[in-house]
Amino acid sequence: MADVAIERSSAAPPQTARKRSSLRTALKRKSTAAFLMTLPLILLISLLVIYPAFYSLHLATLNKSMQRFVGFGNFQFLFKRETFWLVVEQSCIFAITAVVFKALIGFIVANFVHNIPAKGQRKWRGMLLVPWVIPPAMSTLAWLWLFDPSYSAFNYLLAGVGVDRIPWTGETGWARFSVILVNIWFGAPFFMIMYLASLKSVPDQLYEAAAIDGANWWQRTWYVTLPMMRNIIAITTLFSLIVTFANFDIVRILTSGGPLDHTHIFATWAFRIGIEGSDIPLGASVSLFMFPILAIAAIFILRDINKRGNEA
C-alpha cells in the first residue's frame, strides 16, 4: 500500500520533465533501478557459481583428456578404488567428530563467559576468538611445528611427565586425531560467539522463574537455555557441518592426506587428483560427493530460517 502511494508522488514531478530525459525516468522506475542494482550480483552468481557448478557435472562425465564422454565411468572407477572409501570414511569421521566437539566446547565456553560479570567478558571473548581470526593456513603451520616429529614441543612437555613421544602426524590414528584437534581449535570460537549471542538473548525472567521454582543448574540448562537456543544451535551446527566437510587448508597443510591417504577428505583428495594429478574430470567427480551433504544441510537451514522468520 505505502509503496503505491510513493510511486505516485515520486512519479508526478517527472511527468512534466519526461521529454527532457526518458532515460532518467526509466532509472527512477523502481523495477529498473532494482534490476540495475542487483545486476552485478546476478552476473557474478550465475557466471562464477551456478555455471561452474553445472560445468563440474559435465566435467565429471569426461575422460582424463576431456575429449571423450564416459558417462558414469569416473564414478564406477572411484567406487572400485580403496582410497575412495578411505576418503568417504575419513570425511565422515572428520566432519562429525569435529562438529560435535566444536559445538560442545563452544556451548561450555559460552556458558562460562556468560557466567562471569559483564565487565570482564570483553577481554575473555577477545582472547578466545583469536584462533578464528588468524588465517587457518598460518595457524596450521604453527600446529605443524608443534607436532614436528623430532622437535615436537608437545612431546617435550609429555616427556616432562614421563609419557613416550607421540608420532602426531606420522601414524594413522594420531594423524586423524591431529587434524580433528586443529579443526576444533579453529572452529570452536565460532560456536562460542554464536552461542554467547543467543545466551544473551534469553530473557532473565525465565531464569528467575526457574530459580524460584527451585530448578538446579542442570534443569535450568535443559529446560530453559537449550529450548531457547535450539534454532541457533541447529543453524550453527549445520553451517559448520558444511564447512568442516568441505575443509581444505588444515588437512592439506598438516598431513596433505598422509599417512598413506588415511587423512584425505573430499576436498584435499580432489585437489590431489584434479590439480596435482591433472585429471580434472576425476577430481570433479570426487568433489561432487560433497554436494548431497550440502543439499541436505541447506534444506534444513532454509527450513529453520523460515521458521525463525515466522516466529519473529
Q: Considering only residues 232-271, where is the footprint of another protein by CB under 8 A?
A: 235-236, 239-240, 242-243, 246-249, 252-253, 266-267, 270-271
Q: How far is the CB of 242 from another protein (least distance, A)?
A: 6
DSSP track, 191-232: HHHHHHHHHHTS-HHHHHHHHHTT--HHHHIIIIIHHHHHHH
Q: How far is the CB of 21 from another protein (least distance, A)?
A: 13
- Each residue 159-178 as x (binds another protein by CB under 8 A) or -, in order, gives --------------------
**84 contributes a contact to another protein by CB under 8 A:** no
How buried is residue 16: exposed, middle or buried, by Cβ count under 10 Å (0-12/13-18/19+)?
exposed
Residue selected from 4, 41, 118, 312 as contacting another protein according to rule CB under 8 A: 41
- Grid look-up 578404488 returns 81
- Each residue 194-223 as x (binds another protein by CB under 8 A) or -, in order, gives x--x-------------x-xxx-x-x----
- Each residue 270-289 as x (binds another protein by CB under 8 A) or -, in order, gives xx--xx----x--xx--xx-
Task: Tally the residues of the chain.
Answer: 312
Closer CB to another protein, 108 or 228, in the complex: 108
Binding residues for another protein, rule CB under 8 A, total 110
251/241 Cα distance (integer angstroms): 16
Site for another protein in 43-82 (CB under 8 A): 44-45, 48-53, 55-56, 59, 66
Q: How far is the CB of 258 from another protein (least distance, A)?
A: 13
Site for another protein in 119-158 (CB under 8 A): 122, 124-139, 141-143, 145-146, 148, 151, 153, 156-157
Q: How far is the CB of 67 from another protein (least distance, A)?
A: 13
Closer CB to another protein, 173 or 292, in the complex: 292
